[in-house]
Amino acid sequence: MPIIETKNLKKVYSEGDTKTFALQNTSFSVEDGEFVAVMGPSGSGKSTLLHILGFLDEQTSGKYLFEGKSFSDHSEEEIAHIRNAEMGFIFQSFNLLPRINVLENTKLPLIYSNVPESKWDNMAREAIESVGLTHRIDHEPSQLSGGEKQRAAIARALINKPKIIFADEPTGNLDSKSGKMIMEIIEKLNEDEGHTIILITHETYTAEHAQRIIRLHDGEIISDKKVRHRHSARKEEFKK
């Protein structure tokens, strides 16, 4: 059973008599452990799709199944639990709280979990170590570089060991060196840890780190193909 399946997904925004079709007839599936990139220009529906897949928004019509169950099959409490425990989110703008350090930012998702508070520090330290940021654990976001902020955001996304990670333009605000480091971490999460990855990007080079690319245009899928010649930030790093 696919971890994600969409069937004729449609999202329409209405303002007065004006209707904007953000997604139309969107159907695809993602297997557990797969690394999929969703590509398209600005306004193609990428962010709308991400919000629906991450249970942050609901489609106008069609079906979205996560682990075989649709949004409507869950109560609000169950949806909140799935978002927090089974999904991790990485955003272009990092979304770190500015006045608390890396350790405290990483622990934030645990506030809404059933994990005893006595375990929070160890779990956060483990997640921070996995992204190579232990030396910045006591620093606030203003003291971090862009790449370090994104690594802190990834640590926060990993804290609950989610099944799936949604990465929305994770290298968009970074220089090429930092971007390569972030892609190396994302590849490791997929290849070594088995996380399913959904990567949203407008960059072909970044998308080609995935196993497969879904291309959107005006809210519709125009192609869905496996990547023949994948880029690997890990192999590029190894060659150095």
Under the banding of pLDDT at 50, 70 and 90, the label for residue 236 is: low
Nearest Cα to 108, choosing from 96, 122, 99? 96
**Could you count the other beta carbons within 10 Å of the beta carbon of residue 172?**
16
How many H helices and E strands in the chain?
A: 8, 10
Query: What is the Cα–Cα distance from 181 to 3, expressed in whole angstroms?
Result: 27
Q: Is residue 144 part of a domain?
A: yes
Query: What is the Cα–Cα distance from 80 to 76, expressed in whole angstroms?
Result: 6
What integer best gives the mean pLDDT of the chain?
92
Is residue 191 a contact partner of residue 33, using CB atoms and an 8 Å limit? no
Q: Is residue 115 part of a domain?
A: yes
Nearest Cα to 179, choosing from 203, 214, 143? 203
Q: What is the mean pLDDT of residues 2-29?
A: 94
Q: Is residue 179 part of a domain?
A: yes
Q: What is the pTM of this model?
A: 0.91
Mention every residue, 6+ apart, whose C-beta is less than 8 A from residue 117: 110
Domain that holds residue 113: 4-226
Mention every residue, 6+ apart, whose C-beta is less than 8 A from residue 99: 140
Q: Is residue 232 part of a domain?
A: no
- Number of domains within the chain: 1
What are the pLDDT digits (tens) for 154-183? Answer: 999 999 999 999 999 999 888 889 999 999
Report the CATH number that the domain containing residue 48 is assigned in CATH: 3.40.50.300
Q: Is residue 238 part of a domain?
A: no
Position 68, amino acid: G
Please report the pLDDT score of residue 71 as a whole number.
Answer: 83
Q: Is residue 200 predicted with pLDDT exceeding 90?
A: yes
Residue 14's SS3 state is strand
Q: What is the mean pLDDT of residues 178-205?
A: 93
